[in-house]
Each structure stands twice: as structure tokens, then as C-alpha cells.
Structure 1
Amino acid sequence: MTTSNTPTKHLPADERRAATVESVVALAASCNPSDITTAAIAEHMQVTQGALFRHFPSKDAIWEATMGWVAERLLSRIDRAAKGIASPLAAMEAMFMSHVEFVVAHPGVPRMMFGELPRAELTPAKRMAQTLIQRYGERLHGLMAQAKACGELPPELDNEAAATLFIGTIQGLVMQSLLAGDVTRIRRDAPRVFDIYRRGIRSAA
């Protein structure tokens, strides 16, 4: 990841855009995302604001690209975690823990998500975040259907509610870790919390 000690003045355009996004994620880990200005991003990258705007037409475009970065990496991560696991429930657990590790590695991401979603207007970044949740839910629905087919989950389970609870449980863990000022505590809590979630959806009627 690009840091303030890594000048980006001479990077190709694609790498400059990627470095801009990574700088936003890094800055969001230590300050309020709503306070991140293009001047702060440029300073972090050791470039001018003019250099930023040669690659992004606006700050909203930077935020949209950042949400796209989050979606691509998070979904790729959970897909890799679940790949090759025969048990659908075990695959869901692997996704859960992989998501937790993503948050620990990029603590600025949930701060940006929580800051973007409550906005009344449907910004491009907010639309991207909504698409991420939808695509995440589709993966969960697929695994739950498989789990029902092989007898790991009861056929009466409400897939929509169970998927909402899965994502909401992670969000709750993240919020508590941020309030505690220690994002790594989510690693300690996640296994016990998922165990309760698993027992709950197994016994759903």
C-alpha cells in the first residue's frame, strides 16, 4: 500500500488511481472519512491536487473508486476463503472469518462504509456499497440453498433473514470494535459469535 514515504509523482495512470484509492483507505483508518479532503489525499501521496484531478474528475469519483476497490477485494477474499470447502456451513464460516480479517487489515473500510450509507442522497459511492451488499447476499443465498439440499440447514429457514443476520452480525462486531478503539478484538469475538449464529440457523423453524 502506498504511504506518505512512497512518492507517486511518476506512476502510470492506472497505478496512480490505485495509489489514490489506497491512500484514502489508509487515511480513513486514522481520521474521520468525512474530513478527508483532496488536499489531505494529495499530501499523503506527495503530489499536487491538480495531479489527483487529472485522474479523477471530483472527490465523489475518488470515493466511488474506493468503494469499487473495497467491493472487488472483499468479494474476492470471501470467494477464496469458501473455495473448495465441501460443507456449505463451513464455507459460510470461512467467509465470516475472512471478512473479519479483511476488516482487521483495512480498518478504514468500515469507517467509510458507516459514514457513506446514512447519507440521504444516493451517491455513486453509496450505490456501489449497496451493490456490494447485494452481491454478498447472493453468495450467502447460494450456500444456504446447498446447505438445505445436503441437510445441514432446515428447509424452513428464511434465507433472506439469515443472510441479513450474517452481514448484520459482522457489522455489529465491527461497530463494537471501533467503539472500543481496538479493531483486533473482532478476531477474539468472531468465532464465538459465529457459533451462536450457526446454532440459530440450524434450529430455525
Structure 2
Amino acid sequence: MTGARLPKKIPAEERRNITVEAVIELAGSSNPDSITTTAIAKHMKLTQGAIFRHFPNKDAIWKAVMNWVASNLMARIDRAARDMTSPKEKIEAMFFAHIAFVADHPGAPRMLFGELQGARQTPAKRLAQTMMKQYIERLCDIISSGKECGELHDDLDAAAAATLFIGTIQGLVMQSLIAGGMEKMRADAPRVFAIYLDGISKARDVEEQGVTLP
């Protein structure tokens, strides 16, 4: 979605998808709270009436945006982890898939943060909360598998480790938003993840490390 004028006759579903992409694009450089339907229409070179033919109100647009973010983010991390054999590999694949998604769609975390921080219990906020719950549950399952196979600490709190995983990514995103670009996130992610993984991984026995005790 580039802001170019759209053809007059395109399917309704495609029009809705293009509207969603326009909002995410705008959110990449604007506070989501400041994005009005007027701004969306202007970005798409349409009238507000054309937008409201496909969405009854702004809440419906925001719900569609959050549904797009949730479905596309979860699909990307699922694809990344699918072919990995070990829990640690899955965790790493999910981490960097999430980082890549945010780098490709910088407006997505702005929309997500905006909804989760909002006081109103909107349909979009409920979708965001559901996505985060599913994400945490998926991580907990993988972390529990890592404990069972001996890759991760036996006494590791799976829920806390999953929360820290999400929080680590959110911290990187916030730092990049403050810096004004995604480059900092991309540069910092490998070093930050290495610290996270070291913290949850089970130390190998000295024999496995090739250390000879006196």
C-alpha cells in the first residue's frame, strides 16, 4: 500500500485489506490515536464515504487491523518454528521471526501497544489480549518441552520465561521507536537474545564441555 490512487472497481474484501494495510502504514510514522478516518481516506486517495461502505465505524477498522496483525504475526512465528527439532531452536526461530515481522511492519507494534494500553475494552483490544494469551501459551509449551528434554533449567518458571521472551522483544521495539528506526532493533536483537537464551538454558556438565577435573 503506497498511497497511490486505487482502481474504482475492486472486490470488497480486497478493499478492506487495503484499508487495513493503509492504517498499519500510517501507524509506522504516526501515533495510532491520531489516525482518523479522514487521514486514512486521504492516504488512500478516497472519500470517507468509500471507507465506510466497507466498515461501519472506526472500531471496526481497528478490529480488522488487529486481526491482521494477530493472524500474520502468529503465522510467521509458526512457520519459523515448524521445521526446528529442538525447543531451543524453536524459541530462537520464533524470536527472530517476530523481530523480522516488526521490521517489515513497524506500524504493527504501535497498533498493538496502543490497544493494550487503552482504557476502553474495544473489540480490537480483546483480539490483542487473545493473541498475547495464545502466544504465551505456545511459548510455555515449548519451554516445558525444553525442560523435559534437558535443554532448559529443570526449575525454570515457564510462564515467567515466556513473559520475559515477549518483554525482551517489546523492549527492543520500544528502543527502536525511540531511536526512530528499526535498524537498532535488528542490530541489538542477536546480542540480546543470546543473553536471554543463556539465562534459561541448562548448563552442560563439565564432562560435556571437555573439562578435565584434577
CA drift of 1:93 comes to: 0.6
Cα distance between partner residues in 1 of 2:202 and 2:171:
22
CA drift of 1:203 comes to: 5.1
Cα distance between partner residues in 1 of 2:122 and 2:109:
17
3-state SS of paired residue (2:117): coil
Q: Which runs of structure 2 are paired with 1:158-169 in the superposition (5 Å)?
A: 158-169=157-168
* Contact 2:41 2:51 (C-alpha < 8 Å) held by counterparts: yes
* Contact 1:29 1:107 (C-alpha < 8 Å) held by counterparts: yes
* Contact 2:150 2:202 (C-alpha < 8 Å) held by counterparts: no
What amino acid does structure 2 have at the position aligned with 1:10? K
What amino acid does structure 2 have at the position aligned with 1:13? A
TM-score using structure 1 length = 0.95
* Contact 1:26 1:106 (C-alpha < 8 Å) held by counterparts: yes
Larger Rg: 2
* Contact 1:8 1:45 (C-alpha < 8 Å) held by counterparts: no
Q: Are 1:107 and 2:111 counterparts?
A: no
TM-score using structure 2 length = 0.91
* Contact 1:74 1:102 (C-alpha < 8 Å) held by counterparts: yes
* Cross-structure match for 2:178: 179
* Contact 1:8 1:47 (C-alpha < 8 Å) held by counterparts: no
* Cross-structure match for 1:155: 154
* Contact 1:9 1:46 (C-alpha < 8 Å) held by counterparts: no
CA drift of 1:156 comes to: 1.0
Cα distance between partner residues in 2 of 1:8 and 1:25:
20
* Cross-structure match for 1:22: 21
CA drift of 1:125 comes to: 0.9
| Percent of matched pairs sharing the same residue | 60
Q: Are 1:125 and 2:124 counterparts?
A: yes
Q: Which moved more, 1:135-144 or 1:69-78?
A: 135-144
What amino acid does structure 2 have at the position aligned with 1:73? N
Gaps in structure 2 of 5+ consecutive residues: 204-214
Detail structure 1 runs of 4+ shifted over 6 Å in the superposition. none
Gaps in structure 1 of 5+ consecutive residues: none
3-state SS of paired residue (1:117): helix
* Contact 1:23 1:41 (C-alpha < 8 Å) held by counterparts: yes
CA drift of 1:155 comes to: 2.3
